[in-house]
Amino acid sequence: MGVTTRRLAGTRVLLVEDAQDIREVFALLLQEEGALVTAVATGREAIERAGREDVDVVLTDLGLPDLPGDTVISRVVATSRRRPRVVVVTGYDEPFIGRARAAGADIVLTKPVVWSALLDRLAAVPAGQIAA
C-alpha cells in the first residue's frame, strides 16, 4: 500500500471566498492535503484574522461583497504580524489582476483553476514559514 503525502501538512491557510459552496469545497480539499484552514467570507473578516493570527498563505478571490480584492490584499499585507504569501484565484481579468499584483499578490491564477496547479503553488510555501 502506498503512502499518501499530505503536501500542505502544517501550512496555515486563510481562505477568503464569499461563495459558500466554493469556500467549503476549497476548505475540504486543503484540509485533505494537511493544511490548517481558516475560512472567511468577507474581506473585513480576512483583514481582522490576518492581523491577529499567523498565516502562511492567504488564498483569496478578488470579487468580495464588502471590499475590493486589491484593498483586502494591501491591508492584509500591511497589518499581518508576519507577511503571508498571497495567492489569488479569480474570474476577473485585467485591470484587476494588475491591481492585485500591485497590492501585494504573489501569484494570480484565473478561473477555472486546475486543482493540481493551485496545489503546486501552495505547496511551494514551507509549513510554518512565511515566503517573502
Residue 74 contacts residue 46 (beta carbons within 8 Å): no
Residue 106 contacts residue 87 (beta carbons within 8 Å): yes
* pLDDT (tens place) for every residue of the chain, 132 residues total: 444 678 999 999 999 999 999 999 999 999 999 999 999 999 999 999 999 999 999 999 999 999 999 999 999 999 998 899 999 999 999 999 999 999 999 999 998 989 998 998 888 765 444 333
Smallest CA-to-CA distance from 50 within 18, 88, 77 is with 77
pLDDT of residue 124: 79
Q: How many C-alpha atoms does 46 have within 13 Å on its Cβ side?
A: 34
pLDDT of residue 66: 97
- Considering the entire predicted model, what is its pTM? 0.89
pLDDT of residue 111: 87
* Domains delineated in the chain: 12-123 (3.40.50.2300)
Q: What is the C-alpha to C-alpha distance for residues 16 and 25, in angstroms, rounded to an integer?
A: 12
pLDDT of residue 4: 60
pLDDT of residue 132: 34
**Residue 42 DSSP SS3:** coil
Residue 57 contacts residue 13 (beta carbons within 8 Å): yes
Residue 57 class from Cβ within 10 Å (0-12 exposed, 13-18 middle, 19+ buried)? buried
DSSP for residue 90: E
